[in-house]
Chains A and B, each alone.
Chain A
Amino acid sequence: MGMMLAALEAVKRALDFLPNVELVTLLFIVFTLYYGRKMLLVALAFTLLETFFWGVHNWVIMYLYIWPLLILIVHYTRKHAGHFFYCILSAAYGLLFGAMCSLPYLVAGGPGAAFAWWIAGIPYDIIHCISNFLLCLILYRPLTAALDKVKKSEEAS
């Protein structure tokens, strides 16, 4: 769990300078394929760690449902899904990220505030969508190969 948390935090920090280009979605997908619902705890720990570093912001609420939702989708579709499905899933997740993140604004400021917030972020959501697709397309197989080795070594020890 510590290693996964460290990997999530490291890739988030490494790509922070590129708005909405991130590897967190892909890592949550891949880790969930190997560790299942245990990743819900990692998602919670990741949110707490981010809160510790950056303080309490609106996105803390968003992280509390966005990453668990992704983990549950991956967990319950894993038997019927493959590489291409995860490319589409991560792309769709990127595209809908702003819409999903606007939910707290729906509660706090009403539909107008949530809609305005979502609209303002659409260009970034499109970047998020395309980058998520490409990153999953390129890095999914190397990551799953690496996790295969980790799993084998865990089982051997």
Chain B
Amino acid sequence: MNKTKKRIAALVLLAALVVVFFLVYRHFSPRPQAGSKHVSVEVVDAEGASKVYETATDAEFLSGVMDELAASTDFSYEGTDSEYGLMITHVNGLRADYVEDGAYWAIYVNGAYGEYGADSQPVTDGDAYSFVYESAN
């Protein structure tokens, strides 16, 4: 096989791998539930004090619920986009910056540690989400 053919074969193989990865993503990525859903969002601050917000939403992802709550209640949040999605830095005005505070906002879904960021966590009817201020130390 000459050099050009080898290069074309390598490019085709790489492109095929990209397609396979994309199909795996399409097949296995979390799917949001359509329609109105009733969910709760709990905020647990550094002292362990809890505040719960109940809402009905059509949001597909948790960040959409957070935006709706921020527009209609005293819930607030701030965050930055990163390669891993939305990194939440403030909830209800309380900062949890890993570098500055040695703390972070952990997301729990129905009591279990969340596997996704807020902008990729699908919203399902009946879910209970918690934002918990957790110290790294």
Contacts and interface: CB of A to CB of B under 8 A. Distances in A.
Contacts, number: 57
Given A19-B81, A55-B98, A119-B28, A113 B21 contact: no
B81 A119 contact: no
Contact of A117 (B81, B82, B102, B115): B115
Interface of A is mostly: helix
B20 to A, nearest CB: 10
B29 A120 contact: yes
Interface stretch (B10-18, B37-45, B49-57, B71-79): B10-18
B22 A119 contact: no
A55 B21 contact: no
B18 A126 contact: yes
Interface in B20-35: 21-22, 24-25, 28-30
Contacts of A29: none
Given A84-B7, A117-B115, A119-B24, A124 B83 contact: yes
Given A88-B14, A120-B116, A126-B21, 19 more contacts: A19-B83, A20-B83, A55-B102, A56-B136, A84-B7, A92-B17, A95-B18, A95-B21, A113-B115, A119-B25, A120-B30, A120-B115, A120-B117, A121-B83, A122-B21, A122-B25, A126-B22, A130-B18, A133-B14
